[in-house]
Amino acid sequence: MQKNTISANYGAFLALILLLFSQCGSKQQKPLPSSNLMQAIEQAGDGGMTAEEYHALKAKFGKMFDRWCLEVMDVAPAYYAKDSIMAGFLNAFVQLNKPVFTSVKKHYAKYPDLDQDIAKTMAKLKSEFPDAGEMQILVYFSQFSNTNTFTDTVNGRQVLAYSAEMFLDDTFALYGMIEGLPGWIKRYARTEQIAPYLAATYLNGRYAESHPRKTMLDEMVFQGKLWYSMTKLCPDISEAHLFGYTDPEWKFLNQEEANVWNYYVQQQTLFSTDFNHVIKRFFIQGEKTTGAGLPEECPPRIGNFSGYKVIAAYAAKTGKSLKQIWEENNSGNILQQSGYNPIR
């Protein structure tokens, strides 16, 4: 009888311990401080924004509102006029884009964990870069004009911003219907890409000036660091989807890895400094990488792909952390120490 009581108590104790561990393991990451400029403009403009309401909106978002007006929307003449003129512009802007606002809200309702995913990625980034400082997320709307995430420093806090309508997944019908929007944009329109792209934008802003990018190898190594960082910070996303490839394209690149590197060697491009005529085509976004001697089905940004392979080899060979990898800015040293040579 006593033995059964002890067993029952032990079983209950074990169950409690397992419950506690389960709760610890499933603990959610606290979302980063965030502000939604898109939502604020929609709400204010939907009711007919007044000059006073516009002034309050501008004061609330400060420098980031200035950037949105002047750099994203490019409305300098109205911006420097009376507040009533900008209020009128934003009222018309909201009415024009109401259907898109509805689509955006409907889409993101399917991703209730997005803020936590971003916070988890940034927490990993800060564990690798402890001096990264405080971060804040800004959501804005660019009317399909701004395809990149961007970052800025406001009041000592790093603000990471993305245009919500540019990440509605590659099946969003309007991406194929908007005049001037390239078809390849769908490669970089997955909602799951928001977190890694924000992290890459931060790293680009932090390290771009300290990395000389005079040769193709310099550019390759820099882009490779960005891609490698994304894989370490967002390991649950496939490499193909992180970098904007289809699964067959990613398979093709890996199968042709040695041939791609051999192409650089034969064409003597690695140490070229001719960005416009030699280097640029290996790194630009698009549907293909073109050039004499390249297969017609060659996916875009093969320079980024090769750089990623170099950095992955360098990390494996040296055992360096992400921060240590970024602190080495000599691309020749990195290539040599990586031992990377897929054509052997």
Among 174, 207, 240, identify where a domain stops: 207
Q: Which domain holds residue 321?
A: 211-338
On whether both 152 and 217 belong to a single domain, the answer is no
- What does 146-158 look like in DSSP terms, one character per residue? --S-EEEEETTEE
* Beta carbons of 161 and 137 less than 8 angstroms apart: yes
In a domain, 236, yes or no: yes
Residues of the chain with pLDDT under 70: 1-27
**Is the entire prediction scored with pTM above 0.85?**
yes
In a domain, 59, yes or no: yes
On whether both 45 and 183 belong to a single domain, the answer is yes
pLDDT of res. 27: 56
On whether both 264 and 154 belong to a single domain, the answer is no
| Residue found under tokens 């289809």 | 246
Tell me: the pLDDT tens digits for 24-40? Answer: 444 577 888 889 999 99
pLDDT of res. 31: 85
- What does 166-224 look like in DSSP terms, one character per residue? G-S-TT-GGGGTSTT--GGGGGG--GGGHHHHHHHHHHHHHHGGGS---SHHHHHHHHH
Instruction: Count the domains in the chain.
Output: 2
On whether both 81 and 121 belong to a single domain, the answer is yes
Sign of the dihedral defined by the CA atoms of residues 60, 61, 62, 65, in that order: negative
On whether both 220 and 201 belong to a single domain, the answer is no
Among 182, 207, 232, identify where a domain stops: 207
CA–CA separation, 184 and 163 (whole Å):
17
On whether both 74 and 194 belong to a single domain, the answer is yes
In a domain, 21, yes or no: no
Q: Measure Cα distances from 163 to 147, 173, 231, 254 in Å.
A: 7, 17, 22, 32
Among 186, 207, 228, identify where a domain stops: 207
On whether both 50 and 176 belong to a single domain, the answer is yes
On whether both 220 and 138 belong to a single domain, the answer is no
On whether both 69 and 201 belong to a single domain, the answer is yes
287: which DSSP letter?
A: S
* Beta carbons of 136 and 63 less than 8 angstroms apart: no
Tell me: the pLDDT tens digits for 233-279? Answer: 999 999 999 999 999 999 999 999 999 999 999 999 999 999 999 99
In degrees, to the nearest 5, what angle opens at C-alpha 192 toward C-alphas 281 and 197? 50
In a domain, 3, yes or no: no
In a domain, 19, yes or no: no
pLDDT of res. 29: 75
On whether both 221 and 190 belong to a single domain, the answer is no
Q: Quick one: tokens of 70?
A: 């002047």
In a domain, 15, yes or no: no
CA-based max dimension of the chain: 88
On whether both 268 and 120 belong to a single domain, the answer is no
* Beta carbons of 306 and 261 less than 8 angstroms apart: yes
pLDDT of res. 20: 36
In a domain, 6, yes or no: no
Write down the H helix ranges in the chain. Answer: 2-25, 37-46, 51-67, 76-79, 83-96, 98-108, 114-128, 194-207, 216-233, 239-243, 247-255, 257-267, 302-318, 322-327, 331-338
In a domain, 344, yes or no: no
On whether both 242 and 194 belong to a single domain, the answer is no
